[in-house]
Structure 1
């Protein structure tokens, strides 16, 4: 037969490949087959020249046929054994056995090698005691090479026959046919190792470890909704992806059998039939595993009974130890009894309860529909509540009952002597139990530090010694008593009343930028030896405490308004007080600027109208002021004997006017600038013309100007036509102060824009801001004589 080498996987090693299929995220039954290979686990040969001897796993190659050695003929067969324990129950789809020739006596002689299955033998074969040869394998197929590195036989039928017979191993003999066996010309040797490459399937194992919810199969639990989930341990020797089929049925109606499928990955199978179960029915169930080629046996049968009806009654909760109306009863760490009553609802066999945020539990009723007692020890004081609901045998719970109660405060007291003391001074603090609760010990901590246990004295009290030394710490003492019942009480204690000795600071009311400010520091902490201060969070400086407990420091503010000084003291022993932080308001040394002609608050005089501006300063000894108007070069004016100066300024536009002023003192000190903003009124003369709308080319227009500017001397105007501005035209005012002029619209064949701007000028030649009007000169426009006021 021809070679079948391409029909099976590679032959080296023990190789397993399992096929699985996933479509659109849904698991489907796996292909179930596995490609694997096994190799012979032992070999031996027999020799006619030594008919009573066995040659088991010797070194060298496996001989078959005849050879002559030192004039003596040897005829041999070689035996190979395969372990089949890993193939128990398998179905073999195909199998190919292969071997390799290592030496051939005569390659011109036809190859006649045969492979036979032998009968099982209890001992190694000899020439005189050979196992019976049962079945000859088809083959070999070979390559056209000699010696051949690959000869193969179809091993599927004999392998399946051995597996079906339950044989743990399979032995084959490699030999030559009788017609060639004794002729040395046909002798050959083989590598002493044979391989079988096969495709096989083994059925999944019968499921084990069955559970209904959390209940083993041997139980018949009463289950509520969600409690009948069925699970089992399953496996498949060929794959970890297969299916588990669950079946369930009412015990009284096996004809109502239903099934459900779980797609298994690994070893756990699970199915919840809850939606298909009826209330009050006993069901049986079992499970089996399936791949696409084989199915395991059904598992053992389990049972459960459904109960989907919850209790209808809310428990009533009562307590004589803890009530809401008497806040003084009980306390943290003092247990009390709470009675839960099912009110005769026989469906209730127990209660699930909860108190506070963390405490809960289950307690069985003394009988169905009866009562139970919960002994509860509160963890917190104040108003609390307990809730409980009844549970039936299946775990269904009914409505909740609630109970409110009050837990009294029972933290130990703390009394300190002295009640208030400076930092660094020692005080004794005594703990005492609350009421009649008693105390055998106290557990306390300071500022959340490590807990310390302190035994109580015969009178139930205990005393600690505390010396606060760190001004930044709170020194809050939290303490609980270990009561005589062994439980801890509620919290007590409190914060130590400490004078942390923060120094005080005297700040002068007239502090001003650029002038020395003397701050007086006063020590508060007894024994203070030095002050450490900083100005505006700058570099700290240290000065000694004077005999009167004070020190003076001088700072020179470089800007006005708020500044900060921080100061603490240090004793000779190194004890540091708390830090005091004070705000220091520093006045600005900038000059004040006033004007009645042009007030800063609102619109002042007209454009081109001179105004007087007065400069003054709170600084003593001012000798001059330097001002800049509208960003022009600074101008300096001397101060009068009263320290003030006045200047006259004339605004020439309606724009916001900017005036900045500094002062200079006799000692050369130049102040911060003062700022003044003012807003002149428009002095533009109103412009009224007798034409409105569009103008015709050549149309004559008459215009009148009305005086506004104080000291008016003349008017002026110009005309811009089609983007070209004409010359300024002077207009003399009449006896009534008005001015009149006329103009002619340009002769044009196209439409253009025309603008008229007008102003007035005083005797000093100062021009006001402008009035204006505009026209559209249109050759197609109709004449208009309507007056237009602009």
Structure 2
């Protein structure tokens, strides 16, 4: 059983506030240090006219870009209610464009959408309805800025009925608290059968067995993740098979086996992986490719050496020798070589259908055979061949690797 991870909370950074007043259309009040509270709604001015007030708050949302939003709450302390202290009147929360020092009633930010509404009646110092927090569900607004990867959001409080006196004042300590979930990262470390690297294009690794796919999953919140592998014929755009590996700790390497029933000889396949945390699936990895090839190459490789020419007397035992392997096969991946077919080393071809060099030191025997296998792809079975290499008898020595030629 893996530990339960609680989704993180964030209090968004407040980046300024302002209010606008219909009775003073040119006035700008951005971060007004002289005003002790935040006005909202309609009120009767001393001149006898009804004035309307809207208050705005900017919040930074850089850390929420691309996140799944679970909950978001905007809240402010109501400290005044009019015309009657404990009689609830409605107040709305709306989403607008960013406010600045140029914001005024004549130059308001663009309206984006209504977010939430409530009714409240609290008044500082009143025994029946003392000052208290008023909360709004702001999830819909924060979801938008997170999905669009915006750097901030502006939320405004206003009264829906501007023809009725419904004055409210709030403290300037309004906050936006967000619970979020970080989607798992795109899987990394993609390989197939350990030694088949992730590759794309035309120069792809190959296998002649049912490949095992590997990918590492990571969740920034530390949550356990599951891994979905999908594969299909390259270029077809269709998924022909998939497997979801069960949950395991973040940072774990996951695997999936592609059944041979999904594969056909000589066909190129693509695969990728996606990690999930039980709430959302993260970004996909890149696509990797491999060729399924169960047909051995038919061309027999040739072996040449100036140090140990075939069917001729070569260098003495213990003398470092060089060999060149080549083939007429049009798709050479590399060669496996050694003094026996059971113990071999691998050397890559210089190019497709190109030669490669390799070799080994002599031995006590006066005649040895260099066994060479042609491989058309990593993981494929080699086509064997042998070159008979006679050597002069010499003292016992410790075999060593030969240089490439």
TM range, smaller chain: 0.5 to 0.7
Q: TM (normalized to structure 1)?
A: 0.36
Counterpart selection for 1:54 from 7, 22, 28 = 28
Whether the 8 Å contact between 1:64 and 1:76 is mirrored in structure 2 is yes
Whether the 8 Å contact between 1:248 and 1:285 is mirrored in structure 2 is yes
| Alignment partner of 1:138 is 2:117 | yes
Whether the 8 Å contact between 2:229 and 2:243 is mirrored in structure 1 is yes
Encode CA deviations 1:36-56: one digit per residue, 9 max, x unaligned: 233253232236586534333
Whether the 8 Å contact between 2:82 and 2:166 is mirrored in structure 1 is no
The CA distance in 2 between the partners of 1:340 and 1:191, in whole Å, is: 81
Alpha-carbon offset, residue 80 of structure 1 = 0.9
Q: Structure 1's 311 and 236: CA in aligned 2 closer, same or farther, altered over 3 A?
A: same
| 1:28-427 aligned within 5 A | 34-46=7-19, 48=21, 51-59=25-33, 61-64=36-39, 77-88=54-65, 92-101=69-78, 104=80, 109-110=85-86, 112=89, 114-121=91-98, 123-124=100-101, 125-131=103-109, 135=114, 137-139=116-118, 146-148=130-132, 150-160=133-143, 169-174=152-157, 178=162, 179-180=164-165, 188-198=169-179, 200=180, 213-219=196-202, 221-225=204-208, 229-230=212-213, 241-250=224-233, 257-263=240-246, 265-266=250-251, 270-273=255-258, 275-276=260-261, 277-295=263-281, 303-310=289-296, 321=307, 330=316, 334-338=319-323, 350-354=334-338, 362=347, 364=349, 374=358, 378=361, 387-395=370-378, 396=380, 397-398=382-383, 401=386, 405=391, 408=394
Alpha-carbon offset, residue 394 of structure 1 = 0.9
Whether the 8 Å contact between 1:248 and 1:257 is mirrored in structure 2 is yes
Gaps of 5+ in 1: 1-20, 24-29, 412-790
| 1:722-737 aligned within 5 A | none
The CA distance in 2 between the partners of 1:350 and 1:167, in whole Å, is: 51
Q: Once superposed, what is the RMSD of the aligned Cα atoms?
A: 5.6
Gaps of 5+ in 2: 123-127, 398-405
The CA distance in 2 between the partners of 1:135 and 1:99, in whole Å, is: 18
The CA distance in 2 between the partners of 1:193 and 1:247, in whole Å, is: 47
Q: TM (normalized to structure 2)?
A: 0.63
Whether the 8 Å contact between 1:45 and 1:76 is mirrored in structure 2 is no
Whether the 8 Å contact between 1:53 and 1:126 is mirrored in structure 2 is yes
Alpha-carbon offset, residue 390 of structure 1 = 0.8
Structure with higher RCO (Cα < 8 A, 6+ apart): 2
Count residues with an aligned counterpart: 367
The CA distance in 1 between the partners of 2:339 and 2:256, in whole Å, is: 36
Q: Structure 1's 296 and 64: CA in aligned 2 closer, same or farther, altered over 3 A?
A: same
Whether the 8 Å contact between 2:228 and 2:274 is mirrored in structure 1 is yes
Alpha-carbon offset, residue 117 of structure 1 = 0.9
**Which structure's CA Rg is the greater one?**
1
Alpha-carbon offset, residue 297 of structure 1 = 7.6
SS in 2 for 1:46: strand
Q: Structure 1's 56 and 139: CA in aligned 2 closer, same or farther, altered over 3 A?
A: same
SS in 2 for 1:216: coil
The CA distance in 1 between the partners of 2:152 and 2:51, in whole Å, is: 29
Whether the 8 Å contact between 2:115 and 2:138 is mirrored in structure 1 is no
Alpha-carbon offset, residue 137 of structure 1 = 2.3
